Structure 1
Amino acid sequence: MQVRDFQVNDFLRDSWQKKPLMIRNMWTSWSNPLEPDELAGLACEDGVEARLVMQTSGTLAVEHGPFVETRFDKLGHEPWTLLVNAVDHHVPEVSALLNSFRFIPNWRIDDVMVSYAVDQGGVGPHFDQYDVFLIQGLGRRRWQVGAPCDDATELLPHDDLRLLAQFEPTQEWVLEPGDVLYVPPGLAHNGIAVGDDCMTYSIGFRAPSRNELIAGWAEHLVEQSDDGDRYADPALALQDNPGEITAEALDGLHAMLTEKLLDRRAFAHWFGQYNSAPKDPDIDWTPEVPVAAADLREMVPARSSLIRNPASRFAFVRESAQSVMLFVDGHCFACAGKTALFAERLCALDHITIASSDLRSQGTTTLIAALTNLGSVTIADEG
């Protein structure tokens, strides 16, 4: 689908993490990528995170999947909503929606959640800690936006939903198929289906908290550290008071800690693996028969593409003008020269053509084989 005249630079300057933006008819021709029955089928599968939110006498109750198929025939006439997370990992047509939002760095993209609701269905007023694009796929939905929220904002007691105790809308829109609403983090919002067969695609973005980063980085450092690396003071001098922790001792202890914490290259290496780790580590995408790099030239057709697994996460960190660290699904690959250029192409596009020169590079064939054996890419015959 081709995007209409959407001014990316204006959006990033004026709206991104600043204010909501309604984008009418974002695409020249909108086509809903997923049918309601297909979404319901996904919600019945093991390993797919799905929730059913039902309104009963003014309250919201939540059921967690996987569901049996007959569950959707017994929902009655009260408003309800089906929510399925990470649908882009299972449906390439949904994953393709992300191509229109590549002006946001790949490492920030989390997943595409898809919701289906009957008339008046919704999940109540709430706020998210991350940016979100809300794409209307089918039917109509009324979106209301309110005041900024934070950790001090009062919530209603609920085991499964973060519902606002008070919500006063300040802006309101009714979205038609192909419309998009951008909502920055921390802004109260509420979506209500207007009529049946209402489908919304929510593209959420990762926003690691300071606590997450500290905990993850520190845990990694502890795992990598040698317990024999201990404080030493060979130049110890007699103190006036043995009860004092001297400035010199504190400087040495602090240096032991900060030397590792402030290692930027090590942090980049850790963060790339941490951020690219699979959303669901239990899903196995590996092929039944491993591929050997030495066999690729004979295996790969003359015209072929490398297609990324929609569930895989690709990102890179530039180390020099000629080298990058490529991160894929929690793994790190050091790439240099032509292989680095190949890795950059692979991070920028969902699929790339494999050139004959790629297969003449040992580093590139080794990388292709490794990614194929992880299940992160597949080789397809373009002919």
Structure 2
Amino acid sequence: MNDPFALRTIPPEDEALRAPVRAFLAEALKGVPPAVRARSWLGFDADFSRQLAAHGWLGLTLPRAYGGGGRSPFARFVLVEELLAAGAPVSAHWIADRQSGPLIARYGTEEQKAFYLPRICTAEAFFCIGMSEPNAGSDLASVRTRAERTASGWRLSGRKIWTTNAPHSHFMIALVRTSGAPEDRHRGLSQLIVDLSLPGVHIAPIHDLTGDAHFSEVTFDDVELPESALIGTEGAGWEQVTAELAFERSGPERIYSSIVLLEEWAHALREASRTTHTPVGESERRTLGAFVTELATLRAMSVAVTGALANGGSPATQAALVKDLGTSFEQSVPTLIGDALGAHPQQAVARELADTLDYVTKIAPSYSLRGGTREILRGMIARGLGLR
């Protein structure tokens, strides 16, 4: 298929997953206020993740031999779309299910697959990502965290930052330098699985504007790791992490971060129209229509990237484009809804909507940081198009 964003249809067998997931979520999230549901993929709830696992909904794309569902990426797309649309707390299992598990399944040894994958599928092993570093920003090729070979494995030293859920995670997959110097860029990078309970691992939470502490700085002081900590081939870390980022950037999570707020605003417009018997204003209709149109386009692009993954591809450029455009959309939602409400200062705003808008407005700036800044993404897109 020449067009990387050609329209794709979710197969019926995967679409059939939507109804039972939606029914489960309606019961599981009954009475949860929208300001809480708006946290969704930053909402940590290990018990909820275990409930998903009990239904067989974790590790949907992982091999059946290791406890997974053995299904296509389209099945996971349907599941994730329903989870985010409902505002489910998915953070506990999120990274392991989305990228750590598939990375291990693709590059890991038989021993690694047999140990980690079943635990991911039962919500017994939570992972975090060790990519970004202080003074490196989104320039992953300049990482300085180093793993030196020892008689029994590796000795790890350095720091990682903006690490989501590090205090709650059991393991980290870290991009580190196993040879050469930062000036060597892509050469000499490898990926290691780090048991975060080991001596020498120090985790310092970072509080954000909302008062939460999803991010952390993680320091490694001569952490001793076994030889089996290495994933894939030593020195092939850049190729592997690029494949991992395609998993991270391509899914519906990059377009639905503000969806609970958008739905709450649409509900408020319907309620106001019903109680006052006056139609929704022209300005609000145009804004809502623009949201729906853009969201539909982004969803079609995300489904197309999922199709590329289902065909065994690694659509890094397309995933970066979806992430960049999706982030801009997600950040526009609280801004434009705030403007729409501010245009009618005499009208009362429901507490549920006000609280949700307050949270999303505060957290939205982070959307263009997590998963790669838009400047880095646009550089990747330009290279992918042969423009630089």
TM-score (normalizing by structure 1): 0.25
Larger relative CO (CA 8 A, sep 6+): 1 or 2? 2
Instruction: Give the greater-gyration-radius structure (CA).
Output: 1
Higher normalized helix content (fraction of residues): 2
User: TM-score normalised to the size of structure 2?
Assistant: 0.25
**Which structure dedicates a bigger proportion of its chain to strand?**
1
